[in-house]
A = this chain, B = another copy of it.
Amino acid sequence: MTAPDDGVITLLPPFAERDRFTAEGWCPMERALDLIGTRSAMTLLREVYYGGTRFDDLARRAGVTPAVASDRLKRLVEAGLLERRPYREPGQRTRYEYTLTDRGRDVFPVLVALMRLGDELPREKEATIGLSHAGCGEPIVPEVRCAAGHEVPLNETVASIVRP
């Protein structure tokens, strides 16, 4: 039996008992993935981050069918990430537009972290999409910090079972 490599998360008791306490089925990451773990949900959310609001625009730019867009947007609204508002142009039926809520904005680090990983993976086209800070022009990166402001690497992270 080899010891686990250094540089991983430390599990506190009783979570450290890996046979009794697997994270499977109740890890918050899994709930998040149930919501935005599909390519279609994240590409629709990306298009809202890029300023898209209207159903047709979002579906087309995300590259998903109207049926898929309808289902994903409905779930994002139900989960409180997007807000749906009706609008109507003269002589047309009522349509809907979608805007971010605060919770939807909170998901921004997911996009940034995924884009950073994707940038390191092989790609077919030469061009890519870069995100940078309007203030200073520097590229933006995802970071993990604690509430006290320290940057926290994997091997300084502890995981524990939290009961309310």
Contact = CB atoms under 8 A, between A and B. Distances in A.
Contacts of A111: 29
Interface in A61-84: 61-63, 79-80
Contacts of A4: 51-53
Contacts of A112: 109, 144
A118 interface: yes
Copy tally for this chain in the complex stands at 2
Contacts of A37: 37-39, 42
Contacts of A91: none
B126 A163 contact: yes
A93 interface: no
Using C-beta atoms within 8 Å of the partner chain, give the interface range for chain A.
35 or more
A37 B110 CA distance: 12
Nearest to A156: B134
In this complex, the member of A28, A125, A153 whose beta carbon has the largest number of chain B beta carbons within 10 angstroms is: A28
Contacts of A36: 117
A34 B37 CA distance: 10
Given A37-B39, A51-B9, A134-B158, A31 B121 contact: yes
Given A18-B57, A50-B9, A146-B141, A79 B118 contact: no
A113 B109 contact: yes
B154 A147 contact: no
A28 to B, nearest CB: 3
Contact of A8 (B22, B48, B139): B48
10 contacts: A8-B51, A22-B63, A26-B127, A28-B114, A33-B42, A35-B121, A110-B117, A128-B162, A135-B146, A140-B147
